[in-house]
Amino acid sequence: MVAMLTTLLGSFLPQPRILMTMSRDGLLPSIFGTVNKSTAVPVNSTLATGLVAVLMSTSMNVDQLSGMVSVGTLMAFTVVGLCILVLRYVPPLEESSIAASFPEEEEHESKRFLAVLSILSIFGGILLVSLASSFTFLASWGRWMMGTVGLLLLISGTVKLLITKEVGISHHFGHSNCFHCPFVPVLPVASILVNVYLLANIGISTWIRVSVWLIFGLLVYAFYGVHYSLSGRTRV
């Protein structure tokens, strides 16, 4: 209960700011971007977040709430691990064009496709290994086969990235967008493996509830956000 309270309070504080930022970009209606002049608090976003939190807390028990919180956290950490691999080995096109100006990295630009395949191999292998260890209703030979294939994909993809030189410039010291993550790609791969394994062991009922939220978010983006996003119009 203490851990749940801490997590929910920690999520409740930034959520209104996230809604406010999305509103300012146009992904959500402008009503969520209203800020109180005296307190500098996003009022409407805070009220909307509180209303949803109240409805969820009165309609679900602690086990259901903890499952949904766990899915959100684990999915976020999984995406972070994947993004680190993409930024290091398959950077965005505009970053790749800048990286091409570095003589030592220009020769590795042709390996972008192999890096993409390696990352896909890693994620596919992790998914197969996690499902093989979680799907106890399958026959033992099927689980062993699934796990073996997944392990081979995971190891081969990781080894390929280990021998591939990073082509992104975000890891260069002194770059404006520099960030430091040690032991790449081993640490991100290990993080993804643990997170996906835990996700695979969450109950089906929790995944159904999370899927409803994901579908709702995709519908909001498809029918509103994609048409009014300032960032999207700027890129176009």
Give the tens place of pLDDT for each residue, 45-63.
Answer: 999 988 988 888 788 887 8
The answer to whether 96 and 167 have CB atoms below 8 angstroms apart is yes
d(CA 88, CA 203): 34
56: DSSP letter: H
Q: Model-level pTM? A: 0.74
Provide φ and ψ at 200, rounded to 5°. -70, -20
At residue 78, the pLDDT reads 94
Q: What is the pLDDT of residue 73?
A: 85
Which region among 3-12, 69-78, 84-93 has the lowest average model confidence (pLDDT)?
3-12
How far is 72 from 110, CA to CA, in rounded Å?
36
> Distance between CA atoms of 18 and 24, rounded to whole angstroms?
10
169 has pLDDT over 80: no
Split at pLDDT 50, 70, 90, the class of 174 is very low
Q: Report helix angle 62-89 to 186-200, nearest 10.
A: 150
Q: How confident is the model at residue 232 (pLDDT cuts 50, 70, 90)?
A: low
**Which among 96-100, 177-181, 209-213 has the top mean pLDDT?**
209-213
- The pLDDT assigned to 112 comes to 76
pLDDT at residue number 115: 87
Q: Please state, rounded to an integer, the average pLDDT across all residues of the chain.
A: 82
Task: Examine residue 185 and say whether the peptide bond preceding it is cis (omega within 30 degrees of 0).
Answer: yes
**Best CA proximity match to 128, nearest among 112, 113, 148:** 148
